[in-house]
Structure 1
Amino acid sequence: GADPNAQMRSGATPLILLAQHGHTELVQILLEHPKCDPSIRDVNGASAIYFAAKNGHEKILDLLLQRTHDDIDKYTAKGSWPLHAACVKGYGLAVEILLKYKANPQQATKEGKSLIAICAEEKHLDIIEILLNQLGGSAYFTQSKTNSFWPIWLASARGYFDLTHRLVELGANPKEMLGQAGATPIHFAAHFLNLKAIDILLSIDSSLVHLQDFTGATPLFYACQKYTNKQCIPVVSKLVNTKSINAVALLRPLTKRAPPQSIDDIQPAIQACFFITLLAPLDLIPSSSSDLSNMLIAKGARRRKHHILRFMHSNSHNNHKREQEKPISSNKKNFDALV
């Protein structure tokens, strides 16, 4: 009879073709042949099992895994594998079938991203529940910073309210910092102006509003950097009204270097103007020129005080642009020189 494992130049076999397109009955017929091998891979390292998982053909996937599951976690040439493909596509039943046949839920991409993080990025909350049940729930979040931080960071940054809440319930640490900048989930929620994620994080722990990254920047500072976006106003309002915050303390990040998300080609004095004018309507800084002047002098801002005061009293952003003085220096300066 015909060889069921005969391969094309691409490496595809009849079984790979059928698994990819979901022909369950034909797959059953081929698997009745004793020599039919589901583990054969094409030139890209993808097997029939991989294609069944990637395309959500659960019945075919189960049939193939009944025959063999020795290489269930083997990577393709592009760094994927069956469980990864099912997680990316959001096929929860396929994930459950793969886990039943001992697929490794802790396997990560070659870049180090966990399956939990991938599901958080794709907003597949149901699959996160499946994986965490397999991993032992909250124990998962004590294993490494990468595992514990990335999912909640992604959920916070993208404003996934339910996912953020569930991840914290399961043990994710909302105070965990990321990388060289030292930003936390609420920093990124503020940076992306996701009010719902900020709401849930602050409902869990209101002290998160005071967290500083390694540069000294608070979540409020991250939000204020988005001053050109109208969504900045409710986010700033939420952050400043969560706790009684000292105005001078809010200015403290300006004494340190700007966080990585700052816009280098905007003059620091102008950034400070926007920062302060956002706070003024919320009664967080003195409204009078003299009081503000004294506060800024106390912070060592004599040289650029007039830029800030002038901007506060301009009628509009357009008026300010017309009246703006030339920059104090042609050299780019960061926030170290501001106050």
Structure 2
Amino acid sequence: MLLTLPTELLLRVAAGVDHEHDLNSLTRVCRSTHHILSNYLYRRNARESGSSALLWASYCGQIETARKSLDAGADINALIPGDSALIPPLSLPAAQGHKDVVDLLIAVDGIDADTTPGGSPSALTYAAANGHAAIVQSILDSRKANVDAHDRYGRTALMEATMNGSIGALQVLLSCAEIDLWQPDGSGNTVLQHAMALRDPVVSRALVKYGKIDPDLRIHDETVLQMAVHYGDDILVAILLENPKARSNARANLLILLPLAARGSNMKIFELLLQSHSDAKATIDDGAALLDDDRRAAIALAAEAAASCGNVKAVHYMVESGITENADHILLLAAAEGGQLEVLQLLITLGIDVNARDRNGVTVLAYAAHRGQSGIVQAVLNHTETDPNIEDKRGRTPLFMAAIAGHAEVVELLLDVDNINLHTKDHKGLTVFHAVCSHPGLCTYGGVCKCQELVRILDRLLALGFDPLTTDSMGCTPLHVAAQGGCVTVLQYLADKLGTVDVRDSHGRTPRMYAAMYGNAAALLLLARRTRIEYLEDNFGNTPFFVALRNGYAGLAGHFVKRSPAWLLQRRCRGRGPFYWAARISDDLVRSLQQIGERTKRSKFASLDVEPDIRQGEQDRVGERQPWDHAANAGWCTICMWLFSAEEQKYHCEECDGGTFLMCSECFEHGQQRCADEAHQLKVQQ
């Protein structure tokens, strides 16, 4: 009966159908109903169902359905109802690869190929991300899409093609003259950074080749060429080096990139860089010698980089090819610095001179000994050509360097060597015994305590016949050295061995004087308990109390006054009292000294007028001075034991005290005793 109804009545029946799927079923009853109701169904879908037919057809690639929907008035920019992605019709076939549907839709007037509510990717971006190069070309040919349109993350079609390795789409996009290669995404990264981060050589090469990338373009802190070297892509490096700008910057590239290449495993890049440098040299007349210097410098840096990071392959290549020339010591020291035992053994096997020295005369054995690298020390000692007694420019041997750093294991290794020289002295006359005693032990500085290791070394040295009273060029014994800043355990050990702490150097100073100068409170307390001389003076009239005070150590000054308040009444150091010298340093030191004095019960101090001394000291003050910083040691005045600041002017005698004699400008101006011989020439030293 339904089939016999007139068309107008059938359309009225269709209008009364509530649900679209029921209407669709009615339409498919027979050819007659389909012919009559099909257009009505599409018009109703466009009007009441948000053009869902067009969206479905676009996604499934049904071009006829899509065409009918458009003819029925479907919205070309419709969105799927309730879809959080908010994807318009054009994006659906672009993502799925339905080129015929894309061509149909892109030709419709009024289509918006870029706007995506909610920041979803555009149709061009979907096509590029999924590698549909032909669709990308169609969209670009329509001139209706912005090639640099970005999504909510700031990513463009070019970025998505790069990140997904879509080479075909990438090439099509790069052929577009309007494309912006350097537009950053929301994180500030450009397309080239995305390519490099993926380490996809094919993508990177395509970008560089078709995008005509400048090899010196800087992205953050690296150039494109640096990034290619860093990622070990020799083909990309070769492409970049073909750029004329790369050849014009061959010098800078070599110095920066060759060490970077030496850290990697791709030696072809290393060869490419050297060849590029040679090609550049062939085009320069006046700068050829300069380029040779650059080459040597770059190879030295590369050798150091390869050896220190343990790149055995690179080290072997450089040594075997002979390009390292006279850089043997660089390779050895770099291997030691990086603790690269395998590299060191390779170098020895290849015949590198294990006794090679750097510009300071330091050998790899001395360097490793100072760093406590027992494995490397043993490997070098196993080589028959090794000389364990080579001195550097300061006269220090590997044994001395191990001792001064407190590395007991290394010291033991060196002492077991048959021809080791035990009794050498450095430029200051310090022996190995002195060196051990100078180590702080780390008891008071944090870290692992080495006190017992130091004592073990001293026991071994004494057993080998060392004299604990041996002196340096100033007559200082190991006890003097330990008092300056060494380990208190070592100081106690030496005091027990010697039975006294009152030994004097060539200037009449005991260890207590040096402890006061360097502010070593723990050492000073130990020495104070064992000394037999309270009011000690050196050859220049200095006392421990005044030395501590003049160098700004309020706590140490208080220690002396507590033991004997009479110190406050003494006038030394050019006839000045303690309050004058305290005022010369700082107001805080004056207050500390006054508080110390007020706690004493001596009537002599109560009646003591210190104001004139304080006023004169403040008048002579040149800026407030803090107690000496051990990390910025600039020496000290041999006459008054004043510790110099780094910028302070001083006078130097190259002959007295083994060349260590220094005098402050104040002692010089006040006509104090010069040095051992007044005929000596004092030179100004900044």
Displacement of 1:226 in angstroms is: 4.4
Structure 1 residues 100-137: Cα deviation after superposition (integer angstroms, max 9, x where no partner): 444433311122x1111111111111111111112456
Distance in 1 separating the partners of 2:238 and 2:335: 31
1:109 to 219, 228, 247: 219
Alpha-carbon distance in structure 1 between the residues aligned to 2:392 and 2:212: 62
In the alignment, is residue 184 of structure 1 matched against residue 301 of structure 2?
yes
Q: What secondary structure does 1:69 align onto?
A: coil
- The 4+ residue runs of structure 1 with deviation greater than 6 A are none
Is the CA contact 2:354–2:386 (under 8 Å) kept in the aligned structure 1? no
Aligned-partner Cα distance in 1 for 2:144–2:390: 86
Residue 274 of structure 1: how far off its partner (Å): 4.8
Aligned counterpart, 2:315 = 198
| Equivalent-residue separation in structure 1 for 2:415 and 2:164 (angstroms) | 60
Distance in 1 between residues matched to 2:402 and 2:147, nearest whole Å? 72
1:250-287 Cα shifts (integer Å, max 9, x gaps): 983479xx8xxx9xxxx94624x55543322223433x
Structure 1 unaligned residues grouped into runs of 5+: 212-217, 287-291, 316-320, 334-339
2:379 corresponds, among 278, 282, 285, to 278
Pick from 164, 171, 184: which aligns with 1:55? 164
* Cα distance in structure 1, aligned partners of 2:114 and 2:120: 10
Structure 1's 313 and 232: CA in aligned 2 closer, same or farther, altered over 3 A? Answer: farther
Residues 174 and 186, structure 1, Cα contact 8 Å, conserved in 2: no
Q: Name the counterpart of 2:348.
A: 237
Shift of 1:40: 1.0
CA change 1:9–1:330 in 2 (3 A) is farther
Aligned-residue sequence identity (percent) comes to 15
Note the alpha carbon deviations across 1:124-173, whole angstroms, 9 max, x for none.
Answer: 1111111111245643323x3xx333432222112322222222222185
Deviates more, 1:121-130 or 1:192-201: 192-201
- 2:155 maps to a residue whose letter is A
> Is 2:242 the partner of 1:124?
no
- Local SS of the residue matching 1:40: coil
Say if 1:39 and 1:71, in contact at 8 Å, map to a contact too: yes
The amino acid across from 2:265 in the alignment is: G
Bigger radius of gyration: 2
Contact 2:128–2:136, Cα closer than 8 Å, also in 1: yes
Q: What is the rounded CA distance, in whole Å, between the counterparts of 2:127 and 2:153 in structure 1?
A: 17
1:171 maps onto 2:285 in alignment: no
The 3-state SS of whatever aligns with 1:61 is: helix
Aligned AA for 1:108?
Answer: R
Could you say if the C-alpha distance between residues 278 and 22 of structure 1 is closer, same or farther in structure 2, counting changes exceeding 3 Å? same
Post-superposition Cα deviations, 1:43-83, rounded to whole Å, max 9, x if no partner, equal: 44331122223333222123223444341233334343234
- For the residues of structure 2 that align with 1:149 and 1:7, how far apart are their CA atoms? 48
2:412 to 287, 290, 310: 310
Q: Residues 81 and 296 (structure 1 numbering): CA distance in 2 closer, same or farther, change over 3 Å?
A: closer
SS at 2:386 equivalent? coil
Higher relative CO (CA 8 A, sep ≥ 6), structure 1 or 2? Answer: 1
2:132 is equivalent to residue 20 of structure 1 = no
Structure 2 residue 335 is matched with structure 1 residue 223: yes
Stretches of structure 2 lacking an aligned partner (at least 5 in a row): 1-75, 78-111, 279-293, 418-449, 458-481, 489-629, 632-686
Q: Which amino acid aligns with 2:361?
A: R
Distance 2:216 2:392 in 1: 52
* Distance change (3 Å), C-alpha of 1:204 and 1:305: closer
Report if aligned partners of 1:153, 1:184 keep a CA contact under 8 Å in 2. Answer: yes
Report the AA paired with residue 380 of structure 2. L
Query: Is 1:7 equivalent to 2:108 in the alignment?
Result: no
Change (3 A) 1:130 1:246: same
Counterpart residue number, 2:325? 207
| Structure 1 residues 64 and 250: CA distance shift in structure 2, 3 A | closer
Q: 2: CA distance between counterparts of 1:92 and 1:118?
A: 15
Q: Deviations over 1:211-258 (max 9, x none)?
A: 6xxxxxx2211212344x55244334257x24x464565983479xx8
Contact 2:154 2:184 in 1 (8 A): yes
**SS state at 2:249 partner:** helix
73 and 252 in structure 1: CA distance in 2 versus 1, 3 angstrom threshold = same
Q: Judging changes above 3 Å, is the alpha-carbon distance between structure 1 residues 247 and 298 closer, same or farther for their aligned structure 2 residues?
A: farther
Q: How much does 1:184 deviate? A: 0.9
Amino acid paired to 1:31:
L
Letter of the aligned partner of 1:73 in structure 2?
A: W
Distance 1:92 1:269, change over 3 A: closer
Alignment partner, residue 214 of structure 1: none
Residues in 2 aligned to 1:274 and 1:297: alpha-carbon distance in whole angstroms: 25
Query: Relative to structure 1, is the Cα distance of residues 77 and 330 closer, same or farther in structure 2, using a 3 angstrom cutoff?
Result: farther
Is this contact kept in 2: 1:53–1:85, CA < 8 A? yes
Within a 5 Å distance, the mapping from 1:35-46 to structure 2 comes to 35-46=144-155
2:396 alignment counterpart? 300
- Secondary structure of the 1:164 match is helix
Task: Give the match for residue 200 of structure 2.
Answer: 90
Residues 170-221 of structure 1, C-alpha deviation per residue, up to 9 Å, x if partnerless? 218554469xxxx81110100112122123333252325246xxxxxx2211
- The root-mean-square deviation of aligned C-alpha atoms, in Å, is 4.1
C-alpha contact 2:259 2:301 (8 A) present in aligned 1: yes
Q: Distance in 2 between matches of 1:208 and 1:304?
A: 25
* 8 Å contact from structure 1 (residues 158, 192) kept in 2: no
Paired amino acid for 2:218? A
Q: CA contact under 8 A between 1:4 and 1:33: conserved in structure 2?
A: no
Amino acid at match of 1:154: L
Q: Is the 8 A contact 1:6 1:14 kept in 2?
A: no
**How many aligned residue pairs are there?**
296
Query: Do the aligned partners of residues 208 and 192 (structure 1) sit closer, same or farther apart at CA in structure 2, a change above 3 Å counting?
Result: farther
Q: Secondary structure at the match of 1:106?
A: coil
For 1:64, the equivalent position in structure 2 comes to 173
Q: 1:200/1:167 Cα in 2 relative to 1: closer, same or farther (>3 Å)?
A: farther
